[in-house]
Amino acid sequence: MVSEEPEGTTAKPTGKRSTRTTRPAGTAVESTAVEAVPTGSKKASKTDTARPNIFKRIRKYLREVLAELRKVIWPSKKQMVTYTAVVLVFVVFMVAYIGGLDVLFIKGVTWLFG
Protein backbone atom coordinates (compact mmCIF):
# COMPACT_ATOMS: atom_id res chain seq x y z
CA MET A 1 0.00 0.00 0.00
CA VAL A 2 1.56 3.27 -1.12
CA SER A 3 0.46 6.51 0.47
CA GLU A 4 0.24 9.34 -1.97
CA GLU A 5 1.10 12.83 -0.84
CA PRO A 6 0.50 16.08 -2.67
CA GLU A 7 3.49 17.43 -4.54
CA GLY A 8 5.76 19.72 -2.56
CA THR A 9 5.01 18.16 0.82
CA THR A 10 7.23 15.85 2.76
CA ALA A 11 6.22 13.16 5.19
CA LYS A 12 6.90 13.70 8.87
CA PRO A 13 9.46 11.29 10.29
CA THR A 14 8.00 8.58 12.47
CA GLY A 15 11.10 8.11 14.57
CA LYS A 16 11.56 4.56 13.36
CA ARG A 17 14.81 3.70 11.64
CA SER A 18 13.82 0.22 10.49
CA THR A 19 13.36 1.28 6.88
CA ARG A 20 17.06 1.83 6.27
CA THR A 21 18.43 0.32 3.13
CA THR A 22 21.14 -2.24 3.61
CA ARG A 23 24.04 -3.06 1.34
CA PRO A 24 24.45 -6.59 0.07
CA ALA A 25 27.13 -8.63 1.80
CA GLY A 26 30.59 -8.13 0.40
CA THR A 27 29.92 -4.61 -0.87
CA ALA A 28 32.69 -2.30 0.17
CA VAL A 29 32.07 1.28 1.19
CA GLU A 30 34.03 3.77 -0.84
CA SER A 31 35.99 6.18 1.29
CA THR A 32 37.33 9.51 0.22
CA ALA A 33 41.06 9.91 0.40
CA VAL A 34 42.44 12.73 2.47
CA GLU A 35 45.37 14.57 1.01
CA ALA A 36 48.40 14.62 3.21
CA VAL A 37 49.55 18.08 4.16
CA PRO A 38 53.31 18.40 3.94
CA THR A 39 54.87 19.13 7.28
CA GLY A 40 57.57 21.65 6.73
CA SER A 41 59.41 23.96 9.05
CA LYS A 42 57.74 26.96 7.43
CA LYS A 43 55.17 28.78 9.49
CA ALA A 44 51.69 29.02 8.04
CA SER A 45 51.00 32.36 6.47
CA LYS A 46 48.34 34.63 7.90
CA THR A 47 45.99 33.96 4.97
CA ASP A 48 46.04 30.21 5.75
CA THR A 49 44.84 30.68 9.33
CA ALA A 50 42.46 33.61 8.75
CA ARG A 51 38.97 32.88 10.04
CA PRO A 52 35.80 34.42 8.63
CA ASN A 53 34.23 37.45 10.24
CA ILE A 54 32.71 36.82 13.70
CA PHE A 55 29.23 37.74 12.44
CA LYS A 56 29.51 35.28 9.55
CA ARG A 57 30.55 32.54 11.96
CA ILE A 58 27.62 33.31 14.29
CA ARG A 59 25.21 33.34 11.35
CA LYS A 60 26.56 30.00 10.11
CA TYR A 61 26.29 28.52 13.62
CA LEU A 62 22.66 29.65 13.98
CA ARG A 63 21.79 28.25 10.54
CA GLU A 64 23.29 24.89 11.52
CA VAL A 65 21.40 24.90 14.82
CA LEU A 66 18.11 25.53 13.02
CA ALA A 67 18.89 22.77 10.51
CA GLU A 68 19.50 20.32 13.37
CA LEU A 69 16.31 21.40 15.17
CA ARG A 70 14.33 20.61 12.02
CA LYS A 71 15.63 17.03 12.24
CA VAL A 72 14.40 16.55 15.82
CA ILE A 73 11.36 14.34 16.29
CA TRP A 74 9.37 16.37 18.78
CA PRO A 75 7.07 14.57 21.25
CA SER A 76 3.31 14.99 20.96
CA LYS A 77 1.26 16.78 23.61
CA LYS A 78 0.13 13.42 25.06
CA GLN A 79 3.74 12.19 25.28
CA MET A 80 4.86 15.41 26.98
CA VAL A 81 2.09 15.14 29.59
CA THR A 82 3.06 11.51 30.23
CA TYR A 83 6.79 12.30 30.51
CA THR A 84 6.11 15.26 32.81
CA ALA A 85 3.89 13.15 35.07
CA VAL A 86 6.52 10.42 35.29
CA VAL A 87 9.21 12.94 36.24
CA LEU A 88 7.01 14.61 38.87
CA VAL A 89 6.05 11.27 40.47
CA PHE A 90 9.72 10.25 40.56
CA VAL A 91 10.74 13.56 42.14
CA VAL A 92 8.00 13.28 44.80
CA PHE A 93 9.11 9.70 45.57
CA MET A 94 12.78 10.71 45.89
CA VAL A 95 11.96 13.69 48.13
CA ALA A 96 9.91 11.43 50.42
CA TYR A 97 12.63 8.75 50.45
CA ILE A 98 15.48 11.14 51.26
CA GLY A 99 13.31 13.03 53.76
CA GLY A 100 12.52 9.72 55.51
CA LEU A 101 16.21 8.81 55.63
CA ASP A 102 16.99 12.24 57.05
CA VAL A 103 14.41 11.80 59.83
CA LEU A 104 15.78 8.31 60.62
CA PHE A 105 19.36 9.58 60.83
CA ILE A 106 18.32 12.50 63.07
CA LYS A 107 16.46 10.11 65.41
CA GLY A 108 19.45 7.73 65.41
CA VAL A 109 21.93 10.48 66.22
CA THR A 110 19.75 11.96 68.99
CA TRP A 111 19.27 8.46 70.50
CA LEU A 112 22.99 7.77 70.30
CA PHE A 113 24.24 11.10 71.66
CA GLY A 114 21.11 12.43 73.40
Q: What is the DSSP string of 78-103?
A: HHHHHHHHHHHHHHHHHHHHHHHHHH
Confidence check: pLDDT of 29 > 90: no
**Residue 65 — very low, low, confident or very high, per pLDDT cuts 50/70/90?**
very high
Q: Is there a domain that residue 83 lies in?
A: yes
**Residue 52 — very low, low, confident or very high, per pLDDT cuts 50/70/90?**
confident
Per the structure, the complete domain to which residue 113 belongs is given by 75-114
Number of domains in the chain: 1
Query: What's residue 93's pLDDT?
Result: 98
| This prediction's pTM | 0.44
Query: What's residue 62's pLDDT?
Result: 97
Q: Is there a domain that residue 100 lies in?
A: yes
21 secondary structure, DSSP code: -
Confidence check: pLDDT of 27 > 60: no
Q: Is there a domain that residue 44 lies in?
A: no
Confidence check: pLDDT of 103 > 80: yes
Q: Is there a domain that residue 36 lies in?
A: no
